[in-house]
Structure 1
Amino acid sequence: MVAQKGRDLLLKIDGGNGLVTVAGLRSKRLAFNAETVDITDAESAGRWRELLGGAGVQRASLTGDGIFKDQASDVAVRTAFFAGSILAWQIVLPAFGTVTGPFQITALEYSGEHNGEIRFELALESAGSLGFGSL
């Protein structure tokens, strides 16, 4: 994969009228994790740990910070956070694909300097099965 512009990683939310880009994220991080299930016992070969494939819980998390695209985006994200809503989100990874599925906002922070714009930080955690689509 050839190097891609970080700004092209997009975050979209389905607020009921289809997917719309919600934020001008300046930095973002998407992480996939899977728990392991240890099935090692006294008869494990050479006393090496053994894992049970496909048994652990998988999850995805996204963190980012930046500026909201517009007032409607700020309202949509803030409303989802305070309601504890689980909504459909899509993360677009250029030259890779899209990750789509239910996420919950687990952190929302606002900050700003006296001579600058208001910024926000956001954290999302997957809340169900995720799909992957190629671009």
Structure 2
Amino acid sequence: MPAQKGKDLLLKLGDGEVSETFSVIGGLRTKTLSLNAQTVDVTHSQSTGGWRELLAGAGVRQASISGAGVFLNDAAAEETRAVFFGAQARNWQIIVPGFGTIEGAFLIANLDYAGEHDREASMALALESAGALTFTPES
């Protein structure tokens, strides 16, 4: 994957309808996607050379997304707040240029608002996966 522009990494929230439509929630200046898999250690006294052995396909997988920036409009701000206060697991998409799209249910774990007296009000959020995710490679 060659170098890509960070601004092209997009975070979108689904509208929850049967034929789901996804919308960009804000002008995020920083975005991070973390994919994690817990390992299951099955090392025992007969493990070759005392090297650790891991059980393939076991453990829990999860994804975390974080971002910070500004809301682009009132509707996006209101929808994000409603999802947070409703503790809703909603479908989100994160589009990684040169890689593909990861989609699935996430909960908003953190929703932060900040502002300095001489700057714009900003927001930050953190999402935690709440079910199986799908990956669609970029074509």
TM-score in terms of structure 2 length:
0.93
The one-letter code matched in structure 2 to 1:115 is: D
Alpha-carbon separation, structure 1, partners of 2:80 and 2:132:
21
SS at 2:39 equivalent: coil
Identity %: 50
**Residue 108 (structure 1) shift:** 0.5
Contact 2:16 2:91 in 1 (8 A): no
**1:10-50, CA deviations, whole angstroms, 9 ceiling, x for partnerless residues?**
11011235111111110111110100001111221222111
Q: Deviations over 1:50-75 (max 9, x none)?
A: 11001010111011100012111111
Structure 1 segments of 4+ aligned residues over 6 angstroms from their partners: none
Residue 115 of structure 1, CA deviation: 1.8
Q: Which runs of 5+ in 1 are unaligned?
A: none
8 Å contact 2:8–2:97 — kept in the other structure? yes
Q: Normalized against structure 1, the TM-score is what?
A: 0.95
- Residue aligning to 2:24: 21
Amino acid in the other structure paired with 1:76: E
Letter of the aligned partner of 2:53 in structure 1? Answer: E
Q: Secondary structure at the match of 1:109?
A: strand
In structure 1, C-alpha distance between the alignment counterparts of 2:98 and 2:45, rounded to whole Å: 47
CA contact (8 A) 2:16 2:90 kept: no
Number of residue pairs matched by the alignment:
135
What code does the residue aligned with 1:11 have? L
Supply the AA of the counterpart residue of 2:124: E
Who is 1:78 aligned against? 81
- Larger displacement relative to structure 2 (35-44 or 102-111): 35-44
Structure 2 segments unaligned to the other structure (5+ residues): none
Equivalent residue letter for 2:129: S
d(CA) in 1 for partners of 2:61, 2:83: 23
